[in-house]
Amino acid sequence: MHLTALRALGEDIPVGLKFVAEGSEEQGTGGLEAYVAQHPEQFLADALLVCDTGNAEVGTGTATITLRGLANLVVTVETLRGEVHSGMFGGPAPDALAALIQMLATLRDPETGATRINGLDCERTWPGVGYDEAQFRADAGVLDGVRLTGTGTVADRLWARPAVTVLGIDCPPVVGSAAAVPPTARARVSLRVPPGTDAELARETLTRHLTDAAPWGARVTVETEGTGSPFEAATDGPAYTALGKAMEQVYGTPLAFLGQGGSIPLCNVLATTYPRAEIVLMGVEEPRCLIHAPNESVDPSEIEHMAHVEALFLREYAAGHRR
């Protein structure tokens, strides 16, 4: 997308331009975030285009204006000094795995499956472009007859509300398990945090909820694995004005805004380091790309159109500064 846009402009590139390519973001190493903090002069700019997102659907020019943060925990439950025979002791002997399952179940509404964490607002709504439910089911690969979890619109659930996921559980596997009462069990729990909610407060609230939910006096230890703040872009500056004009010229419709359920910690570092810069999230991804799936792909028309958008944006942005 970038190379095609620059080739289209040829030698007539109307703005000062810096290009940064990162190869470690999916590893979660934080390398670029640390580098920005150490070398702020290298990234100083009026507008920062982070091209790690994409359109709401093929043919709809879109900018992502919110990202969810996260709070990851590992919760450990202990009830016995060691394993005991389930025939001799099962019943009165407290089962650590059963206790953990009961605790995790309290994180969701039993009827709707919506995230429910005591002390956390889970009812906000999304004001931007929506996400058709049938399209979401197809994009996510939801099986026939299985209901979506939560209440409100799909966009509400994805971009405006906290979302809890149990990423993994340490417990005896089915194959090789013995007739024993588990004395300990643990789970990795991830909470996606929407804009408007402090990630550290969300972590504390989730920790307190899990601890309070422990049955039978079970011992609970909660370890913080990591937190990241949510992000929300300001859209009233000249970069968004220029982008809107470019998108409308290429796609024939006004620029749409959507949220992103994932997290890009770099955006928060950029916003803190360069408070005057406009941060624009855009790119060639769209739901049919199946990002991170084995058959991940990109629609060639999106590369074509978004390259055109980028070239027009650079010209329009430069013209706006000259006016």
Cβ neighbours, 10 Å, residue 196: 11
Backbone angles phi, psi at 193, to 5 degrees: -115, 120
Integer CA distances (angstroms), 124 to 48, 129, 155, 157, 227, in order: 29, 15, 10, 9, 21
Distance CA 206, CA 103 (A): 11
Contact status, residue 64 vs residue 259, Cβ threshold 8 Å: yes
Which pLDDT does position 66 carry in this prediction? 95
Which pLDDT does position 28 carry in this prediction? 60
Statement: the pTM of the whole predicted model exceeds 0.75 = yes
Distance CA 33, CA 73 (A): 22
Distance CA 58, CA 302 (A): 7
Which pLDDT does position 225 carry in this prediction? 92
- Torsion angle in degrees (nearest 10) through CA of 56, 315, 8, 23: -60
Which pLDDT does position 289 carry in this prediction? 83
Which pLDDT does position 27 carry in this prediction? 65
From the first residue on, what is the mean pLDDT of each consecutive set of 10 residues in the chain (323 residues)?
96 94 71 91 96 90 94 97 97 98 98 97 92 90 97 96 97 95 98 95 98 98 93 95 97 93 87 96 87 84 96 95 73
Which pLDDT does position 320 carry in this prediction? 86
Which pLDDT does position 286 carry in this prediction? 86
Which pLDDT does position 290 carry in this prediction? 78
Distance CA 290, CA 275 (A): 33
